[in-house]
Amino acid sequence: MNNSRRSFIQQVALMTAGLALPSSIFSCKPIKAGGRKLGIQLYTLRDQLAKDVRGTIARVAQAGYEQVETFYGYNGPDSTFWGLTTEQFKALLQEHNLTTPSGHYQLNDYLTKGNGNDEALKAQIAIAAAAGQEYLTVPVPPLYLWDKYPVPVDDYKFMAAQLNKAGELCKQSKLKLAYHNHFWEFRRLPDGKSSAYDILLNETDPALVHFELDLFWAEKAGQDPVKLFEKAPGRFPMWHVKDISKAAPSPLPDTVGIDINKIQNDIKFAEVGTGTIDFKAIFAQAKTAGVQYYFVEQDQITIDPFVSIKESADYIKKNLL
C-alpha cells in the first residue's frame, strides 16, 4: 500500500478503499435482480490479509460472502496478492467458491492535471484483463484534490475527460471503468450550486464511465442516494454498503478539508443495520440505480473484524436482499 495513503488512513481512521496489493481474478457476469450475491471490499480486512491471506479468505466465505472486491497499487511486474501469485490467489478464491467482479486501481498520475501519464493505467488494465475482472474501479482522485479548497473546477473537468479515455481503453480489453466516491467530490464548486461529482456525472460518457456509489460517504456528504439514482439512472452498477455510527450521525461541513483535528470525531463507522442509514429505502431503488453488485465495506472496525463482517452480512441477507 502507498505509504502516504496508509499514513492518512491510520490518522483519519478511515478515508478510502483501496490502493494496495494487486487485484484480479475471474470474470463475473452481472447478477440479475432478485438473485444478487453479496460481496465484501477486502480493504475492510487489510490488516488480517497482510498477516494471513489464506485464513482470511476462508473466513470471508464462512461469514456468508460470495464475492470479493480487491484493492491494488501498481508496484511493477513483481507485485503479488499478499505474497501469492495471481494464479495462486485465483485458486484460493475458487477453493472457497468466491469470485471477484471488481478491483480498485490507483491512477493518481493519469488523473492529475498537468501530468496525465497513462503508463500505470495501461499496465493495470492489462493486469485486470488478464485476471478476468469485469470492472476496473478508480477508488480515489489524485491526492492533491483531497483537501484542496475551493474545489478546482478545471481539475475535475480534466479528470472527467481522462475517465472517458480510460473507459475507451478498458472497453478495448473487455473491461468496464467505474469511479468510487468519498465525501470531497460532493463539496460545492465556487458557483455555490453544483459539485465536483456533478462534473464527473455530466461530463463522462454513460457508456464508458460507471459509478460505484459509496453509500456512507454520499450520506456523510449530505447527499440522498435515491436522488442521485434519479439524477443518473442506471449509472450505479456497484454500491459500497456501510453504515454511519449513531455516535456521529451528522454530515460533514461542506467546506471541510482533510484536517484530522477537524473531522476525526465526525466520522465513525458501524456494522450495517446498526447505524443511521435507511438501507431499505435505498435498496428499494436498486432498479433505478442499475445496481449489479453490493460490497460491504467498513473502513474502521471497533469489534472483532470477523464478527463485524458477519453481522453486516447477516443483516443484509435477512433484510435487504
213 torsion bin: left (phi>0), alpha (psi -120 to 50), beta (else): beta
**pLDDT tens figures, 261-293:** 788 889 999 999 999 999 999 999 999 999 999
Q: Which one has a higher pLDDT value, 272 or 6? A: 272
pLDDT above 70 for 100: yes
β-bridge mates for residue 136, sequence order: 103, 177
State the cell numbers at 224.
440522498
**How high is the pLDDT of residue 51?**
97
Local structure of 39: helix, strand or coil = strand
**CA–CA gap between residue 136 and residue 186 (Å, rounded):** 22
**pLDDT tens figures, 226-258:** 999 999 999 999 999 999 999 999 999 887 777
